[in-house]
Structure 1
């Protein structure tokens, strides 16, 4: 089994992005699955081009995109990607789409194929906070999540894919009072546990567990 794991480069005012820093530190194999690591640009459309090239080259069984979610205190596997680009800030190429569809002929939304509840449970079993998230935002994180799902429908029907958000690193919150953070080693530990759950649930449906939210 091969799992393509991607992490974004730094964006906005930050000089570091915990996504790629954590991805680079993942083991080469997790529970027997080969981990293919890929840095992608925090750029609408270009990020999808880079991931598409990697899928064609590597032919992975799974794709897990990882992104930073400042303000979150837990690792959050994402349930759904929506067909909208609405940039709060410009991307790293200076592009800031507002209320634009990602794919005019794409579905309104796509659900992940990953066992997100099993992933959250595995992260908590590793001693770290995790909850299932029902919004991946409208920036480049949601964009790449949606684009890979769109690729599945058009080109790679056997591929299973999804997204997980991770918190800020401690050094990122020095000038952000009251913002939660997580040590890089813990993020790596949590991602490793989540990927382990993906491998263990291969060929099975997700577990039945309470992960719903009222708001």
Structure 2
């Protein structure tokens, strides 16, 4: 049976929760009712430049999944972002949970400058929108732990073309932000991730539609 690995992050930056892990747990709670043809395994990653890739890569070796989707929290975003490109760069604005704040260093020394997601990114975005949740193709996962984890994921799977993998950002929960700030309800985040996973499992070739920008 097809196996899906879905990861989220633990709390960081003085937050008591992380929207990504809340959403991942929500997906796990309903998975058996909506997807009987695939096994789902979830893992929580620490917001750590050093430990998140290690935990993720160990899970990949142990589980040998067919699909891997890592999920992160994006403060300031109002819609779900399906990431297209991971870059081999760390430039930390704040320290991680291990109090590390590396600046201008590679995620993996000597590796490629960047790796593309192998998810059907545009089809994933359309699936999320069809579920009634705002979504966009994102060309930047930032330069913090999310991007570092995304790059480490794609680097680890660079010789495994049959495995579909990528990264999704969800906005913070309403209870994490002030009134009027961008956020996304927990139920909508769960619906968005279910839509992404369904597209990853069922779509062959990605959609040929424009998702570009002028800036």
Quick check: 2:93–2:101 contact (8 Å CA) kept in 1?
A: yes
1:164 CA displacement: 0.4
Quick check: 2:120–2:207 contact (8 Å CA) kept in 1?
A: yes
Match of 1:173 in 2: 177
1:42 CA displacement: 0.3
Match of 1:185 in 2: 187
Greater fraction of residues in strand: 2
1:28 CA displacement: 3.1
Match of 2:199 in 1: 197
Quick check: 2:170–2:189 contact (8 Å CA) kept in 1?
A: yes
Unaligned runs of 5+ in 1: none
SS of the equivalent of 1:132 reads strand
SS of the equivalent of 2:135 reads coil
Match of 1:213 in 2: 213
* Alpha-carbon distance between aligned partners in 1 of 2:162 and 2:206, rounded to the nearest angstrom: 17
Match of 2:51 in 1: 46
| RMSD of Structure 2 on Structure 1 (CA) | 1.3
Number of matched residues?
210
SS of the equivalent of 1:25 reads helix
Q: Deviations over 1:66-95 (max 9, x none)?
A: 000111111110000000011110000000
What TM-score comes out, normalization by structure 2 length?
0.94
* Alpha-carbon distance between aligned partners in 2 of 1:178 and 1:186, rounded to the nearest angstrom: 17
Unaligned runs of 5+ in 2: none
What TM-score comes out, normalization by structure 1 length?
0.94
4+ runs deviating over 4 angstroms? none
Match of 1:37 in 2: 42
1:160 CA displacement: 2.1
